[in-house]
Amino acid sequence: MSSLNTDNVAKQNASRSWTPGKRVAIIGGGPGGISSALAFLKRGFDVRLYEKQAACKPIGGAVLLNTPVLLILRHYGFDMSLAVDGVTNVDFQNRHGMARTRQPFHSIVEARTGIKGWNYGVLRSSVMKNLLTLLPEGVIQVNYGLDHFIEDDKGVDLHFTNGEVHRTDILVGADGIRSEVSKQLFGDPQLFHTGLRLWLAYCDHFEGIPPNWGYVSHSRFHQGELLSHASRRQAGVRMVGHGKIVPYSTGPIGCQATRHRAP
């Protein structure tokens, strides 16, 4: 199902029959919610995925997918061609550019899974867009924000902000760090900023870095990464434990620094 949902489609989907005993309600239409929906559908459950926005939009930056995640996505029916060019070999280096360790591939795992390597760089939006196409019509319910739920011995009543009440057998909260499901179960999470900051930048391929190779370099307070990507190279800069950082990777020239040093 595409992300172009309308109110009319939502109303039609909401009125369809829902199988008692097999009803699974998933709150949140992000990657976690969509993945959960596909997993329950594979097991024969009758799934509805509730998204408070007007559409489940394929958004987000880059993400690294390892072999277990790729196996799960392949089981769902994910288009593996979206990740095939993003296989990444990784060297861990110190701030002087000297290799500390290399993460080797496991030949037995490669042979048994048919997946080369262990780490693939892809766009999060590409993954989500493909997963959306795997959901049957009628699963996604848009414009449904959860207000609260009431549980009893036979199921759960979902009370939405639009005034509707839906009955389900299983409730899954996949509505992010400000989850209404989690908040009702465990209380206010009291979120606070840890002081970590992250910069992400994209740059073209440049000389000195072999194809499908990535580097992680760090000092006591900073970590710089250059990682292979299915469509382009990704350079990321992060600092751990402090509230401010001076980014040193700002474009194709700055990305070269990622290979050699972290400030």
Residue 39 has a pLDDT of: 96
Residue 246 has a pLDDT of: 39
Domain end call among 186, 207, 229: 186
Residue 11 has a pLDDT of: 39
CB 227, CB 214: distance < 8 Å: yes
Is residue 92 domain-resident? no
Q: Are residues 205 and 255 part of one domain?
A: yes
Residue 36 has a pLDDT of: 96
Averages of pLDDT over runs of 10 residues in the chain (263 residues) are: 39 61 96 95 96 87 83 92 74 72 80 84 85 94 97 96 96 94 93 71 65 69 66 45 38 37 37
Question: 170: domain range?
Answer: 7-58+129-186
Is residue 83 domain-resident? no
Residue 233 has a pLDDT of: 47
Q: Are residues 215 and 256 part of one domain?
A: yes
d(CA 260, CA 258): 6
CATH code of 138's domain: 3.50.50.60
Q: Are residues 133 and 233 part of one domain?
A: no
Q: Are residues 208 and 179 part of one domain?
A: no
Structure tokens at 91: 């060297």
Q: Strand pairing of 23-27 and 155-160?
A: unpaired
d(CA 259, CA 92): 10
Domain end call among 143, 162, 186: 186
Residue 228 has a pLDDT of: 63
Residue 110 has a pLDDT of: 87
Residue 105 has a pLDDT of: 78
Residue 2 has a pLDDT of: 40
Residue 98 has a pLDDT of: 75
Domain count, the chain: 2
